[in-house]
Amino acid sequence: MSRDALEVIRTRRVVRAMTDEPVPRDLLERVLDAAAHAPSAGNRRFQRFVAVDDGATLRVLRMVSPGMLQRPAAVVVICVDAALAVEYGFRAGSSGLYIDVGTAAQTMLLAAHALGLGSGPVTSFSKAAVSAVLNLPPGWSPELIVCLGRPAATQPPPMALGRRRTWRDLTHWGRLTTTDGA
Ligand SMILES: Cc1cc2nc3c(=O)[nH]c(=O)nc-3n(C[C@H](O)[C@H](O)[C@H](O)COP(=O)(O)O)c2cc1C
């Protein structure tokens, strides 16, 4: 399926109800490949993706992730290899490492949508429990889980109901004056 990129960006919404249809590996691979093309601070790419599509591990991940409202057919856990980043001279906690988690996550969400999959990011989870379940090496920190699956026909209402802010609401042209933003 090929869709106009802006249309994909505009129509993507978090999917919190998914069918139990499995997601074929080749679609997961395309989502992962898209994320490998996301921008990365210094092009260092200290993100590591752990893809999971087996039911038993998914069930345990759900148990330690209160923010995972969907029952995904697959997830990608985006981790930061913080130990390697520090070895390369990045400051521990450097913002670029976490901005890269966001660029990878958004790229996955958009790729999934373009491929006809539903997706949703989750950050409400126990990092210690996810690290233990996935047997992550020391120094890897799980930062965000991208849930993937076929969207169910009916979706729960969006989290905060109300008017979606437009770009005009969010944008200021040029230099701000002292009363702007008050
Ligand atoms: C950093 C981040 C963390 C999020 N964590 C969760 C989460 O734990 N559970 C969840 O259901 N949605 C989570 N979301 C999704 C947001 O709730 C969602 O993007 C927002 O309500 C707007 O909906 P939309 O993306 O469909 O426009 C998260 C989004 C971001 C960017």
Instruction: For residues 58 and 7, give the distance between their C-alpha atoms in angstroms, rounded to a whole number.
Output: 31
C-alpha span between 96 and 82 (Å, rounded): 11
Identify whether the C-beta of residue 119 lies closer than 8 Å to the C-beta of residue 82.
Answer: no
Dihedral sign, Cα of residue 172, residue 176, residue 181, residue 182: negative
93 conformational bin, left if phi > 0, alpha if psi -120 to 50, beta if neither: left
Residue 121 Cα to ligand 1 middle (Å)? 6
Q: Tens digits of per-residue pLDDT, 170-180?
A: 999 999 988 77
Average confidence (pLDDT) over 114-135: 98
CA–CA distance, 2 with 66 (Å, rounded to integer): 34
- Render pLDDT for 12-70 as a digit per residue (tens, 0 to 9): 999 999 999 999 999 999 999 999 999 999 899 999 999 999 999 999 999 999 999 99
First to last CA, the chain: 45
Spacing, Cα 87 to ligand 1 middle (Å): 32
Percent of the chain with pLDDT over 70: 97
In the chain, domain spans: 5-170
Asked if residue 4 has pLDDT above 80, the reply is yes
pLDDT band at 182 (very low <50, low <70, confident <90, very high): low
The yes-or-no verdict on residue 181 having pLDDT over 80 is: no
With a Cβ cut-off of 6 Å, ligand 1 is lined by 13-14, 16, 67, 69, 120-124, 158-159
pTM listed for this prediction: 0.95
Q: CATH number of the domain at 5-170, please?
A: 3.40.109.10
